[in-house]
Amino acid sequence: MKSLKINNIKWVWLLALLALYSCSGGGQYWRVRVEMPRPVSFELERFEELIITDFLVLKARTDFDLNKETTEYFAFEFEKNIQMPVSRVEIMPETVETFEQDDFWTGLPTENKDAIILTGTIDYKSEVRKALVDREKRQFEDPFPDKTSLEERKFYTLFFNLYLIDSKTGETLYQKNFKETRNYQNPNQTAYFAYFDLIQSVKDKLFQAFLGESLLQERYLINK
Amino acid sequence: MKIRYIIGVLALLPILLFITQCASSIPADQMRFGVEAAKLDLWDEAIFRWKKVLQTDPDSASAHNNLAVAYEKKSLWEEAKQEYELALKIRPDDKHINANYQQFIKRYEARKDEIAKNQ
């Protein structure tokens, strides 16, 4: 009989605690992950058409056609990601000064009058750097001494100077320089393969600027 | 007999608590509803709820903070800044509001020109 009463009291306390918990809302703060939009640097989609011209290659390579790969890559990526027609016009800027010559760009054959021209310069360099690298001991009581060895790394750098030019006026509306570098431990890494790693980084940054892609951030929502 | 009386009083306690605390806290319900809506990515609904809270309690730092987060989500940068500042004015030492504001202001300052251009 006595144990029954003790059990009853336990149940009442439990009920009281449950009621308190339900009224308090369970918690005061919530940490939520929110996809925050980034502001757009340049509103590309206010134009009717995007024209991709050839890119001025500052130093031609023998192993692959830098201009061809770049134009094809951008044509494919822009067609996939933006809601406007994308076309190719095979016209090569002769020198760096060409980008400032309004007449050169207003004479392009376009289907839409209100088109934006994507062009620029590319330079792609590779080098091998050697350095003495210290290897840390794996364990504190490792009997072998620290090893210092001469190691090689292949470095690839892509310099990309992008212009967005108004086809009506020939005026440069947006200009941005990119410099992407990556190193590879693999001595057999090809320049062609590394190029696609680097151009992808350029593309990601470009699309952030044009499409304002979102960024995952944490925020607190407060309940009380 | 005495034990039965105590049990009876204790049994009534949760019911009393429920009536006095939950039933009288309509803004708290709106606040919580807004949080639940935000968690489901229903930010317009959340904004509506938190605005309702502010109608009855304009000094609710939590509602200002939550609204700021919602405005940030909707790219309403100036509105978000205003709401964060109001929340901090009411509750300057709240670490959660401060954490939100620091994150927000970093992004805001970095893109001030772009924000001005787009608004």
Q: How many CB contacts within 8 angstroms connect chain A with chain B? A: 93
**pTM exceeds cut of 0.95:** no
Are residues A105 and A125 part of one domain? yes
Enter the ipTM. 0.77
Domain tally, chain A = 2
Are residues A189 and A139 part of one domain? yes
Are residues A108 and A24 part of one domain? no
CB nearest B38 (choices: A16, A23, A221): A221
Cβ distance of A16 and B17 shorter than 8 Å: yes
SS (H, E, C) chain A: CHHHHHHHHHHHHHHHHHHHHHHHCCCCEEEEEEEECCCCCCCHHHCCEEEECCCEECCCCCCCCHHHHHHHHHHHHHHHHCCCCEEECCCCCCCHHHHHCHHHHHCCCCCCCCEEEEEEEEEEEEEEEEEEEEECCCCCCCCCCCEEEEEEEEEEEEEEEEEEEECCCCCEEEEEEEEEEEEECCCCCCHHHHHHHHHHHHHHHHHHHHHCCCEEEEEEEECC
Give the pLDDT of chain A (224 residues) as one tens digit per residue.
555 565 666 666 655 555 555 555 455 888 888 888 777 778 888 899 999 999 999 988 888 899 999 999 999 999 998 888 999 999 888 888 899 888 889 878 776 778 999 999 999 999 988 888 776 666 666 666 667 788 888 899 999 999 999 999 999 999 999 999 999 988 888 999 999 999 999 998 888 888 777 778 899 999 87
Domains along the sequence of chain B with CATH = 26-118 (1.25.40.10)
Cβ distance of B17 and A20 shorter than 8 Å: yes
Domain containing residue A81 = 36-220
Are residues A198 and A185 part of one domain? yes
Are residues A108 and A12 part of one domain? no
Are residues A18 and A44 part of one domain? no
